[in-house]
Structure 1
Protein backbone atom coordinates (compact mmCIF):
# COMPACT_ATOMS: atom_id res chain seq x y z
CA UNK A 1 0.00 0.00 0.00
CA UNK A 2 1.16 3.54 -0.67
CA UNK A 3 2.80 5.00 2.28
CA UNK A 4 3.44 1.68 3.86
CA UNK A 5 6.69 -0.20 3.86
CA UNK A 6 6.73 -3.90 3.07
CA UNK A 7 8.23 -5.87 5.89
CA UNK A 8 10.27 -8.87 4.80
CA UNK A 9 10.82 -11.72 7.22
CA UNK A 10 14.21 -11.60 8.81
CA UNK A 11 16.67 -14.07 7.25
CA UNK A 12 18.19 -16.48 9.69
CA UNK A 13 21.57 -18.08 8.85
CA UNK A 14 20.17 -21.40 10.04
CA UNK A 15 17.62 -21.45 7.26
CA UNK A 16 18.69 -23.40 4.24
CA UNK A 17 15.68 -23.04 1.96
CA UNK A 18 13.67 -20.08 0.70
CA UNK A 19 13.11 -17.33 3.22
CA UNK A 20 10.27 -18.02 5.58
CA UNK A 21 10.12 -21.77 4.82
CA UNK A 22 10.86 -24.77 7.03
CA UNK A 23 14.47 -25.38 8.07
CA UNK A 24 16.10 -28.47 6.43
CA UNK A 25 17.85 -30.98 8.67
CA UNK A 26 21.58 -31.41 7.91
CA UNK A 27 23.50 -34.65 8.45
CA UNK A 28 25.68 -34.77 11.51
CA UNK A 29 29.28 -33.78 10.96
CA UNK A 30 31.75 -36.55 12.03
CA UNK A 31 34.14 -35.55 14.77
CA UNK A 32 37.58 -34.45 13.78
CA UNK A 33 40.29 -37.16 13.88
CA UNK A 34 42.71 -36.89 16.74
CA UNK A 35 46.08 -35.56 15.80
CA UNK A 36 48.95 -38.04 15.99
CA UNK A 37 51.20 -37.75 18.97
CA UNK A 38 54.36 -35.81 18.50
CA UNK A 39 57.31 -38.06 17.44
CA UNK A 40 59.63 -38.93 20.28
CA UNK A 41 62.76 -36.90 20.41
CA UNK A 42 66.00 -38.88 20.40
CA UNK A 43 68.93 -36.74 21.32
CA UNK A 44 72.15 -37.46 19.42
CA UNK A 45 75.73 -36.79 20.26
CA UNK A 46 77.92 -35.15 17.69
CA UNK A 47 81.22 -36.95 17.07
CA UNK A 48 84.15 -35.08 15.58
CA UNK A 49 85.66 -37.27 12.83
CA UNK A 50 88.01 -34.63 11.49
CA UNK A 51 90.93 -36.48 13.08
CA UNK A 52 89.78 -39.98 12.07
CA UNK A 53 87.58 -42.64 13.61
CA UNK A 54 87.90 -42.87 17.40
CA UNK A 55 89.72 -46.00 18.67
CA UNK A 56 87.62 -48.95 19.84
CA UNK A 57 88.54 -50.46 23.19
CA UNK A 58 88.43 -54.27 23.66
CA UNK A 59 88.87 -54.88 27.34
CA UNK A 60 89.86 -58.36 28.57
CA UNK A 61 90.08 -59.80 32.03
CA UNK A 62 93.11 -61.80 33.10
CA UNK A 63 92.31 -65.08 34.85
CA UNK A 64 94.79 -66.55 37.30
CA UNK A 65 95.03 -70.32 36.66
CA UNK A 66 97.93 -70.94 39.02
CA UNK A 67 95.56 -72.38 41.58
CA UNK A 68 93.68 -74.55 39.11
CA UNK A 69 90.68 -73.99 36.89
CA UNK A 70 88.08 -71.65 38.53
CA UNK A 71 84.96 -73.45 39.67
CA UNK A 72 82.62 -70.85 38.15
CA UNK A 73 83.97 -71.49 34.64
CA UNK A 74 82.36 -74.60 33.23
CA UNK A 75 84.06 -76.56 30.46
CA UNK A 76 81.90 -78.99 28.44
CA UNK A 77 83.13 -82.56 28.81
CA UNK A 78 84.82 -84.19 25.84
CA UNK A 79 82.69 -86.77 24.02
CA UNK A 80 83.84 -90.31 24.68
CA UNK A 81 86.12 -91.57 21.93
CA UNK A 82 84.85 -94.57 20.03
CA UNK A 83 86.81 -97.67 20.78
CA UNK A 84 88.87 -98.59 17.75
CA UNK A 85 88.32 -102.20 16.69
CA UNK A 86 91.37 -104.38 17.06
CA UNK A 87 92.30 -107.97 16.33
CA UNK A 88 92.37 -110.10 13.21
CA UNK A 89 89.17 -110.75 11.28
CA UNK A 90 88.62 -113.88 9.18
CA UNK A 91 86.62 -113.68 5.95
CA UNK A 92 84.89 -116.77 4.56
CA UNK A 93 83.51 -117.34 1.05
CA UNK A 94 81.32 -120.46 1.15
CA UNK A 95 80.94 -122.49 -2.04
CA UNK A 96 79.41 -125.86 -2.73
CA UNK A 97 82.85 -127.41 -3.40
CA UNK A 98 85.40 -125.06 -1.78
CA UNK A 99 85.62 -122.49 0.98
CA UNK A 100 87.86 -119.49 0.40
CA UNK A 101 89.49 -117.80 3.39
CA UNK A 102 91.01 -114.35 3.89
CA UNK A 103 92.64 -112.83 6.97
CA UNK A 104 93.08 -109.23 8.06
CA UNK A 105 96.13 -107.66 9.68
CA UNK A 106 96.07 -107.16 13.49
CA UNK A 107 94.70 -103.62 13.12
CA UNK A 108 91.72 -104.80 11.07
CA UNK A 109 92.61 -102.61 8.09
CA UNK A 110 93.78 -104.77 5.18
CA UNK A 111 92.51 -108.15 3.98
CA UNK A 112 94.85 -110.77 2.48
CA UNK A 113 94.20 -114.25 1.03
CA UNK A 114 94.81 -117.11 3.48
CA UNK A 115 93.91 -120.53 2.02
CA UNK A 116 91.20 -122.61 0.36
CA UNK A 117 89.43 -125.53 2.05
CA UNK A 118 87.55 -128.37 0.38
CA UNK A 119 84.05 -129.05 1.61
CA UNK A 120 83.89 -132.45 3.31
CA UNK A 121 80.93 -134.57 4.35
CA UNK A 122 82.54 -135.23 7.72
CA UNK A 123 82.86 -131.46 8.19
CA UNK A 124 86.62 -131.66 8.57
CA UNK A 125 86.78 -128.32 6.76
CA UNK A 126 84.91 -126.75 9.68
CA UNK A 127 87.37 -128.32 12.11
CA UNK A 128 90.26 -126.82 10.13
CA UNK A 129 88.54 -123.44 10.04
CA UNK A 130 88.03 -123.48 13.81
CA UNK A 131 91.72 -124.36 14.26
CA UNK A 132 92.72 -121.35 12.10
CA UNK A 133 90.61 -119.07 14.29
CA UNK A 134 92.60 -120.19 17.33
CA UNK A 135 95.95 -120.15 15.53
CA UNK A 136 95.62 -116.58 14.24
CA UNK A 137 93.81 -115.29 17.34
CA UNK A 138 90.83 -114.19 15.28
CA UNK A 139 88.39 -111.89 17.07
CA UNK A 140 85.60 -111.88 14.43
CA UNK A 141 84.51 -114.04 11.51
CA UNK A 142 82.50 -112.72 8.55
CA UNK A 143 80.80 -115.16 6.20
CA UNK A 144 79.58 -114.02 2.80
CA UNK A 145 75.86 -114.52 2.16
CA UNK A 146 75.36 -114.91 -1.60
CA UNK A 147 72.14 -113.18 -2.64
CA UNK A 148 70.52 -112.52 -5.98
CA UNK A 149 70.89 -109.06 -7.50
CA UNK A 150 67.29 -108.37 -6.43
CA UNK A 151 68.31 -109.00 -2.83
CA UNK A 152 66.38 -112.24 -2.50
CA UNK A 153 68.07 -115.23 -0.92
CA UNK A 154 68.22 -118.65 -2.53
CA UNK A 155 69.76 -122.06 -1.92
CA UNK A 156 73.30 -120.65 -1.82
CA UNK A 157 72.35 -118.14 0.87
CA UNK A 158 70.70 -120.87 2.93
CA UNK A 159 73.83 -123.03 2.61
CA UNK A 160 76.04 -120.14 3.76
CA UNK A 161 73.76 -119.49 6.74
CA UNK A 162 73.87 -123.14 7.77
CA UNK A 163 77.67 -123.20 7.37
CA UNK A 164 78.10 -120.09 9.50
CA UNK A 165 75.88 -121.58 12.21
CA UNK A 166 77.91 -124.79 12.26
CA UNK A 167 81.09 -122.74 12.56
CA UNK A 168 79.60 -120.59 15.34
CA UNK A 169 78.84 -123.75 17.31
CA UNK A 170 82.56 -124.63 17.21
CA UNK A 171 83.88 -121.18 18.15
CA UNK A 172 81.31 -120.00 20.68
CA UNK A 173 83.52 -117.20 22.05
CA UNK A 174 84.15 -115.61 18.63
CA UNK A 175 81.24 -113.81 16.93
CA UNK A 176 80.26 -114.88 13.40
CA UNK A 177 78.51 -112.42 11.07
CA UNK A 178 76.74 -112.88 7.74
CA UNK A 179 77.21 -110.05 5.22
CA UNK A 180 75.85 -109.49 1.71
CA UNK A 181 78.28 -110.69 -0.97
CA UNK A 182 76.17 -110.76 -4.10
CA UNK A 183 78.99 -109.32 -6.28
CA UNK A 184 82.09 -110.61 -4.50
CA UNK A 185 82.95 -113.36 -7.00
CA UNK A 186 82.43 -111.05 -9.98
CA UNK A 187 84.65 -108.40 -8.39
CA UNK A 188 87.32 -110.95 -7.51
CA UNK A 189 87.41 -112.34 -11.07
CA UNK A 190 87.75 -108.80 -12.44
CA UNK A 191 90.71 -108.10 -10.13
CA UNK A 192 92.40 -111.34 -11.15
CA UNK A 193 91.98 -110.55 -14.85
CA UNK A 194 93.56 -107.15 -14.27
CA UNK A 195 96.49 -108.95 -12.66
CA UNK A 196 96.87 -111.30 -15.64
CA UNK A 197 95.48 -114.38 -13.85
CA UNK A 198 92.97 -116.66 -15.59
CA UNK A 199 90.38 -117.29 -12.90
CA UNK A 200 88.89 -120.20 -14.84
CA UNK A 201 92.12 -122.17 -14.41
CA UNK A 202 92.73 -121.05 -10.83
CA UNK A 203 89.49 -121.83 -9.00
CA UNK A 204 91.11 -122.02 -5.53
CA UNK A 205 92.66 -118.61 -6.16
CA UNK A 206 89.35 -116.99 -7.04
CA UNK A 207 87.76 -118.47 -3.91
CA UNK A 208 90.40 -116.76 -1.77
CA UNK A 209 90.06 -113.57 -3.80
CA UNK A 210 86.29 -113.58 -3.21
CA UNK A 211 86.95 -113.98 0.52
CA UNK A 212 89.30 -110.98 0.35
CA UNK A 213 86.54 -108.89 -1.28
CA UNK A 214 84.05 -109.93 1.41
CA UNK A 215 86.45 -109.21 4.24
CA UNK A 216 87.72 -105.89 2.87
CA UNK A 217 84.16 -104.69 2.37
CA UNK A 218 83.42 -105.49 6.01
CA UNK A 219 86.60 -103.82 7.30
CA UNK A 220 85.96 -100.63 5.32
CA UNK A 221 82.34 -100.35 6.49
CA UNK A 222 83.33 -101.00 10.13
CA UNK A 223 86.05 -98.34 9.97
CA UNK A 224 83.58 -95.84 8.47
CA UNK A 225 81.09 -96.47 11.30
CA UNK A 226 83.72 -95.94 13.98
Structure 2
Protein backbone atom coordinates (compact mmCIF):
# COMPACT_ATOMS: atom_id res chain seq x y z
CA UNK A 1 0.00 0.00 0.00
CA UNK A 2 1.10 3.52 -0.75
CA UNK A 3 1.80 5.54 2.38
CA UNK A 4 -0.28 8.65 3.02
CA UNK A 5 -3.48 9.55 4.76
CA UNK A 6 -6.80 9.27 2.98
CA UNK A 7 -9.91 11.39 3.27
CA UNK A 8 -13.46 10.05 2.83
CA UNK A 9 -16.47 12.13 1.91
CA UNK A 10 -20.08 11.10 2.56
CA UNK A 11 -22.13 13.39 0.32
CA UNK A 12 -25.68 14.13 1.39
CA UNK A 13 -28.21 16.63 0.18
CA UNK A 14 -28.04 18.59 3.46
CA UNK A 15 -24.69 17.64 5.04
CA UNK A 16 -21.29 16.28 4.05
CA UNK A 17 -19.41 13.99 6.42
CA UNK A 18 -15.62 13.73 6.46
CA UNK A 19 -13.30 11.08 7.86
CA UNK A 20 -9.55 10.64 7.56
CA UNK A 21 -7.02 7.91 8.08
CA UNK A 22 -3.60 7.78 9.61
CA UNK A 23 -0.65 7.94 7.15
CA UNK A 24 -0.35 4.14 7.15
CA UNK A 25 -3.98 3.71 6.13
CA UNK A 26 -4.93 1.55 9.10
CA UNK A 27 -7.70 3.36 10.97
CA UNK A 28 -10.44 5.73 9.85
CA UNK A 29 -11.48 8.50 12.25
CA UNK A 30 -14.24 11.13 12.05
CA UNK A 31 -13.23 14.65 11.08
CA UNK A 32 -16.22 16.95 10.56
CA UNK A 33 -19.75 17.40 9.36
CA UNK A 34 -20.14 20.26 6.92
CA UNK A 35 -23.34 22.00 5.92
CA UNK A 36 -23.94 21.39 2.23
CA UNK A 37 -23.78 24.67 0.35
CA UNK A 38 -26.75 24.44 -2.00
CA UNK A 39 -26.14 27.84 -3.56
CA UNK A 40 -24.36 27.87 -6.89
CA UNK A 41 -21.03 29.63 -6.34
CA UNK A 42 -20.02 32.55 -8.53
CA UNK A 43 -17.87 31.70 -11.54
CA UNK A 44 -14.33 30.84 -10.53
CA UNK A 45 -15.22 30.10 -6.90
CA UNK A 46 -15.88 26.90 -4.98
CA UNK A 47 -18.90 26.18 -2.84
CA UNK A 48 -18.19 26.54 0.89
CA UNK A 49 -18.31 22.80 1.54
CA UNK A 50 -16.00 21.91 -1.36
CA UNK A 51 -13.59 24.67 -0.31
CA UNK A 52 -13.57 23.25 3.25
CA UNK A 53 -12.80 19.77 1.90
CA UNK A 54 -9.97 21.15 -0.23
CA UNK A 55 -8.51 22.87 2.86
CA UNK A 56 -8.85 19.67 4.90
CA UNK A 57 -7.17 17.59 2.16
CA UNK A 58 -4.26 19.99 1.89
CA UNK A 59 -3.87 20.47 5.65
CA UNK A 60 -3.71 16.69 6.13
CA UNK A 61 -1.51 16.16 3.03
CA UNK A 62 -3.84 13.39 1.89
CA UNK A 63 -2.73 10.98 -0.80
CA UNK A 64 -6.26 10.13 -1.93
CA UNK A 65 -9.88 11.17 -1.49
CA UNK A 66 -12.68 8.59 -1.47
CA UNK A 67 -16.22 9.76 -2.19
CA UNK A 68 -19.11 7.49 -1.29
CA UNK A 69 -21.30 6.41 -4.21
CA UNK A 70 -24.82 5.63 -2.98
CA UNK A 71 -26.36 2.73 -4.84
CA UNK A 72 -29.59 0.84 -4.39
CA UNK A 73 -29.28 -2.55 -2.73
CA UNK A 74 -29.61 -4.08 -6.21
CA UNK A 75 -26.48 -2.17 -7.27
CA UNK A 76 -28.42 0.15 -9.56
CA UNK A 77 -27.73 3.85 -9.47
CA UNK A 78 -30.33 6.55 -8.98
CA UNK A 79 -30.52 10.32 -8.62
CA UNK A 80 -28.39 10.32 -5.46
CA UNK A 81 -25.65 8.43 -7.32
CA UNK A 82 -25.63 10.97 -10.11
CA UNK A 83 -25.46 13.82 -7.58
CA UNK A 84 -22.52 12.13 -5.83
CA UNK A 85 -20.78 11.65 -9.18
CA UNK A 86 -21.19 15.34 -10.04
CA UNK A 87 -19.91 16.30 -6.59
CA UNK A 88 -16.92 13.99 -7.01
CA UNK A 89 -16.03 15.60 -10.33
CA UNK A 90 -16.20 19.10 -8.82
CA UNK A 91 -14.09 17.90 -5.90
CA UNK A 92 -11.56 16.18 -8.18
CA UNK A 93 -11.11 19.39 -10.12
CA UNK A 94 -10.67 21.36 -6.89
CA UNK A 95 -8.18 19.02 -5.15
CA UNK A 96 -6.14 18.12 -8.23
CA UNK A 97 -3.55 16.58 -8.40
CA UNK A 98 -4.84 14.52 -5.44
CA UNK A 99 -6.70 11.54 -6.93
CA UNK A 100 -10.39 11.05 -6.17
CA UNK A 101 -12.15 7.67 -6.29
CA UNK A 102 -15.82 6.76 -6.00
CA UNK A 103 -16.50 3.78 -3.73
CA UNK A 104 -19.72 1.89 -3.11
CA UNK A 105 -21.30 3.12 0.09
CA UNK A 106 -24.36 0.88 0.31
CA UNK A 107 -25.54 0.61 3.89
CA UNK A 108 -22.91 3.01 5.28
CA UNK A 109 -25.49 5.34 6.84
CA UNK A 110 -27.49 2.43 8.25
CA UNK A 111 -24.30 0.96 9.71
CA UNK A 112 -23.40 4.36 11.15
CA UNK A 113 -26.84 4.74 12.77
CA UNK A 114 -26.55 1.29 14.35
CA UNK A 115 -23.07 2.04 15.67
CA UNK A 116 -24.21 5.35 17.15
CA UNK A 117 -27.21 3.72 18.82
CA UNK A 118 -24.99 0.96 20.20
CA UNK A 119 -22.71 3.62 21.68
CA UNK A 120 -25.65 5.15 23.53
CA UNK A 121 -26.19 8.29 21.46
CA UNK A 122 -29.78 9.50 21.29
CA UNK A 123 -31.52 9.81 17.93
CA UNK A 124 -31.50 13.62 18.09
CA UNK A 125 -27.75 13.69 18.55
CA UNK A 126 -27.27 11.33 15.59
CA UNK A 127 -27.94 13.99 13.00
CA UNK A 128 -24.87 15.97 13.99
CA UNK A 129 -22.47 13.07 13.63
CA UNK A 130 -24.10 10.40 11.46
CA UNK A 131 -22.50 11.80 8.30
CA UNK A 132 -19.06 11.65 9.93
CA UNK A 133 -19.77 8.12 11.10
CA UNK A 134 -20.89 7.13 7.59
CA UNK A 135 -17.67 8.63 6.19
CA UNK A 136 -15.73 6.52 8.71
CA UNK A 137 -17.57 3.39 7.49
CA UNK A 138 -16.82 4.31 3.85
CA UNK A 139 -13.14 4.96 4.55
CA UNK A 140 -12.57 1.92 6.76
CA UNK A 141 -14.13 -0.31 4.07
CA UNK A 142 -11.85 1.24 1.46
CA UNK A 143 -8.78 0.84 3.68
CA UNK A 144 -9.64 -2.79 4.36
CA UNK A 145 -10.07 -3.41 0.62
CA UNK A 146 -6.71 -1.73 -0.08
CA UNK A 147 -4.98 -4.03 2.40
CA UNK A 148 -6.78 -7.14 1.15
CA UNK A 149 -6.14 -6.58 -2.57
CA UNK A 150 -3.11 -4.29 -2.67
CA UNK A 151 -5.10 -1.97 -4.96
CA UNK A 152 -7.18 1.10 -4.43
CA UNK A 153 -10.87 0.23 -4.58
CA UNK A 154 -13.53 2.05 -6.51
CA UNK A 155 -13.77 4.00 -9.69
CA UNK A 156 -11.26 6.72 -10.55
CA UNK A 157 -12.83 10.13 -11.06
CA UNK A 158 -11.40 11.86 -14.10
CA UNK A 159 -11.75 15.62 -14.11
CA UNK A 160 -11.09 16.79 -17.63
CA UNK A 161 -9.71 20.30 -18.09
CA UNK A 162 -12.46 22.82 -17.61
CA UNK A 163 -14.30 24.37 -14.77
CA UNK A 164 -15.96 21.91 -12.39
CA UNK A 165 -17.71 24.84 -10.76
CA UNK A 166 -19.78 25.45 -13.89
CA UNK A 167 -21.96 22.47 -13.09
CA UNK A 168 -21.21 20.68 -16.34
CA UNK A 169 -20.28 17.47 -14.59
CA UNK A 170 -21.26 14.11 -15.97
CA UNK A 171 -20.81 10.76 -14.38
CA UNK A 172 -22.65 8.49 -16.76
CA UNK A 173 -20.16 7.72 -19.50
CA UNK A 174 -20.32 4.26 -20.97
CA UNK A 175 -16.64 3.63 -20.20
CA UNK A 176 -17.38 4.13 -16.47
CA UNK A 177 -15.29 7.27 -16.06
CA UNK A 178 -16.73 10.31 -14.37
CA UNK A 179 -15.77 13.42 -16.31
CA UNK A 180 -16.53 17.04 -16.97
CA UNK A 181 -18.09 18.14 -20.20
Question: TM range, normalised to the smaller chain?
Answer: 0.7 to 0.9
| Separation (CA, whole Å) in 1 of partners of 2:84 and 2:20 | 18
CA contact (8 A) 2:113 2:126 kept: no
| Separation (CA, whole Å) in 2 of partners of 1:202 and 1:181 | 19
Q: Secondary structure at the match of 2:80?
A: helix
| Separation (CA, whole Å) in 2 of partners of 1:215 and 1:177 | 11
Which residue in 2 is equivalent to 1:190?
114
CA contact (8 A) 1:199 1:205 kept: no
| Separation (CA, whole Å) in 1 of partners of 2:125 and 2:98 | 35
Q: How far apart are 1:106 and its partner, in Å?
A: 1.0
Change (3 A) 1:154 1:189: same
The worse-fitting range, judged by mean Cα deviation, of 191-200 and 208-217 is 191-200
Which residue in 1 is equivalent to 2:6?
89
CA RMSD, Structure 1 to Structure 2 (Å): 0.9
Q: Secondary structure at the match of 2:63?
A: strand
Q: Which one of 130, 141, 144 corresponds to residue 206 of structure 1?
A: 130
Q: How far apart are 1:200 and its partner, in Å?
A: 4.0
Give the TM-score taking structure 1 as reference length. 0.62
Instruction: List structure 1 segments (4+ residues) > 6 angstroms apart after TM superposition.
Output: none
CA contact (8 A) 1:91 1:103 kept: yes
CA contact (8 A) 1:102 1:115 kept: yes
Structure whose alpha-carbon radius of gyration is higher: 1
Any residues of structure 2 matched to 1:1-226 within 5 Å, and which? 84-120=1-37, 121=39, 122=41, 123-226=47-150
Q: Which has the higher strand share?
A: 2
Gaps of 5+ in 2: 42-46, 151-181
Give the length in aligned residue pairs. 143
Higher relative contact order (CA 8 A, sep 6+): 2
Q: How far apart are 1:198 and its partner, in Å?
A: 2.1
| Separation (CA, whole Å) in 2 of partners of 1:177 and 1:113 | 19
Gaps of 5+ in 1: 1-83
| Separation (CA, whole Å) in 1 of partners of 2:116 and 2:145 | 23
Q: Which has the higher helix share?
A: 2
Q: How far apart are 1:182 and its partner, in Å?
A: 1.2
